[in-house]
A and B are shown apart, each in its own frame.
Chain A
Amino acid sequence: MNLSVAIRHEGPLLDFAAELPEGRITALVGPSGSGKTSILHAIAGLLRVRHARIRLGEAVWDDERVHLPTRLRPIGLVSQHYGLFPHLTAQGNVEMSLTHLPNGQRRERARHYLALARVEGLEGRYPHELSGGQRQRVALARAIARDPQLLLLDEPFSAVDRSTRQRLYIELRRLHAELRTTILLVTHDLDEAARMADHLVLLRHGQLLQAGPTAAVLARPASVSAARLLDIPNVFAGEFIGTDAEGAALLNWGAHRLRLTPAPDVAVGTAVRWAVLPSNLLLVRPDKPWGEHLENPIPGRVCEVLELGGEALVWVVPDGLPETRMQMRIPVRSLRRSPLQVGDPLTLCLRAADIVPLADAPAHEP
């Protein structure tokens, strides 16, 4: 059963509609203040919004007439600071979400879920006696103990240190592989979302920018805003001049002509913004022989080289476009093998399928 969500609200401004696929991890990504937590709260029933249509399969949680109280929604919530009950032990915290079971069974069930979240042996500890990572696990155990159909995670990794976070990533994936619960992960960290989620939902100013499978969203932003949110530096403007015999679109970009597939659905003569990921730019040195098979060759000159960890960032100014800088990323070791100097001539190649035309307005899900 998919979770279908449509929310409209003023203050905070929300205009959002998305479908969370069953049994998958969906990440809701956006900068702080973009309304992520408000959407999560609306789904949980903790925030009453002006218009909400929230359904899990056939079960209506919210519409014009229905507002199912939070306690009756089959959800589990892990919030940013976990919201553990400070006067109860780890065991007591988990048992609190099992009040629907007879007293005798709670103890056993709580232990089972604490073990599942890998905090066995700490049942008797109070929250203040636990480390950040252990608290997160207890909160997770408490959230899954009710056997929820939807697990809501609100920036659950933000309050722990880096190494703990890496471990928790792995454990959450393992737990998900075992339980197959539908998960909504709210995060401002795109890398975290890319690592954890099967689906991405991009949000900005309370509005949906783009939603889809993680790899597709990361590789093909739908709009300029989405590209900005995905931190893609190479966004340029060209002019659509028609299609060639094979159906590929032709774009004028300064003195260069680019060929891209699939063709954007716009009229000839329209200005089209397009993006290319830095990792999709192919660098060809002038001394290397290259044949006709290279797509969209763009000659230019290196204007800056910067090493950042294991990666080198290279900025290139294309010939005839002195105001434009294209960024590409290459492994540092290949830079060591054949160094690049500022002013070096080279050619960049772009595969037709890697050139992504962008819409200006936020694109909504079909």
Chain B
Amino acid sequence: MDWSAIALSLRLALATLLILLPLALAVARWLAVTSFKGKPWIEGLLALPLVLPPTVIGYYLLVSMGRQTFFGQYYERLVGHTLAFSFEGLVVASILFNIPFAVQPMQRAFAAIPREVREAAQCCGLTFWQALLRIELPLAWPGILSAAVLTFAHTLGEFGVVLMVGGNIPGETKTVAIAIYDRVQSFDTASAGAMALLLLVISLVTIAVSYGLAERLLKGRGGA
């Protein structure tokens, strides 16, 4: 069992979650309440990671992070090493390929809040932030939870993008999914099996708990 890979995966999932969730929440709410001409394009762009092969995303990320680009050079000058093949690079990649998993459930949840409820909040004299905290977030909570769980579980399991962008550096970019592949390559099936099982259990538990919570929440207010 490669504990450092497991710890790295959890660290990556947590970092992704902490950065992505607030950003995705803002985007999701904005998309849920506005309509404009180019909206399908924005939504399509955000959903791209769902349909593109991870290697394609990984390739573009790798190229854009490399020394050849202005961004890559600037980052290296600033930090001292390239963004590619580093933990920070993994976080950036992870955030990008998790966007649809974070945005879509929250967007659906915000869009499901009836317009009359939003209007009532304004007519009750609530400010934007009061309405968000007291009305919209409690109502969109199952969607937010679902977004968090999907992002977390999906980051733990991502393989292709991580391999492309991060490579396989122990303690820096070797996540548990890579470690499993690595173990299988060196015929260490016992270790690979143990990690695969652990990943399976973690994913199942997080998803089941989130489903259970969401159901309890919905029951508590009659499915509204």
Contacts and interface: CB of A to CB of B under 8 A. Distances in A.
Interface string B121-148: 1111111001000110011000000000
Nearest to A72: B125
Nearest to B222: A128
A96 interface: yes
Contacts of A129: 222
Given A86-B139, A126-B221, A99 B123 contact: no
Contact of A85 (B120, B122, B125, B223): B120
Contacts of B222: 86, 126-129
A142 B221 contact: no
A197 interface: no
Interface SS of chain B: helix, strand, loop or mixed? helix
Nearest to B125: A71
Contacts of B122: 44-46, 69-71
B224 interface: yes
Contact of A142 (B114, B124, B134): B124
Interface string A16-47: 00000000000000000000000001001110
Interface stretch (A74-82, A245-253, A316-324): A74-82
A45 B138 CA distance: 25
A70 B138 contact: no
Nearest to A75: B123
Interface size class of A (residues with CB under 8 A): 20 to 34
A303 to B, nearest CB: 49
Interface in A106-129: 126-129
Given A77-B123, A128-B221, A85 B114 contact: no
B117 interface: yes
A97 interface: yes
Contact of B130 (A85, A99, A152): A99
A234 B84 CA distance: 83
A87 B139 contact: yes
Nearest to B223: A128
Contacts of A79: 116, 119-120
Interface in B86-129: 114, 116-127
Interface string A137-155: 0010011001000001000
A27 to B, nearest CB: 20
Interface in A84-108: 84-87, 96-97, 99-100
B223 to A, nearest CB: 7
A72 B125 CA distance: 6
Contact of A86 (B117, B126, B127, B134): B117
Interface residues of B, number: 23
Contacts of A12: none
Contacts of B127: 71
A83 interface: yes
Given A71-B127, A77-B119, A83 B114 contact: yes
Contact of B124 (A72, A82, A97, A127): A97
Nearest to B122: A70
A87 B123 contact: no
B123 A143 contact: yes
Contacts of A71: 122-127
Contacts of A86: 117, 139, 221-222, 224
A71 to B, nearest CB: 5
B36 to A, nearest CB: 15
Nearest to B141: A87
Nearest to B118: A83
Contacts of A82: 116, 120
A79 B114 CA distance: 11
Contacts of A77: 119-120, 123
B112 to A, nearest CB: 11
A139 B121 CA distance: 12
A143 B125 CA distance: 11
Nearest to A89: B221
Contacts of A128: 221-224
A76 B124 CA distance: 7
B221 A87 contact: yes
A70 B116 contact: no
A198 B127 CA distance: 34
A87 B115 CA distance: 15
A83 B126 contact: no
A77 B220 CA distance: 26
Nearest to A80: B116
Contacts of B118: 83
Nearest to A126: B221
Nearest to A142: B124
Contacts of B119: 41, 44, 46, 70, 77, 79, 83
Given A71-B125, A71-B127, A96-B126, 18 more contacts: A71-B123, A71-B126, A82-B120, A83-B118, A83-B119, A86-B117, A86-B139, A86-B221, A96-B124, A97-B125, A99-B124, A99-B125, A126-B221, A127-B224, A128-B221, A129-B222, A142-B120, A142-B124
- Enumerate the 3 nearest inter-chain pairs by beta-carbon distance, A residue then B residue, closest first: A128-B222, A83-B116, A86-B224
8 contacts: A69-B122, A70-B123, A71-B125, A71-B126, A87-B220, A87-B224, A96-B124, A146-B125
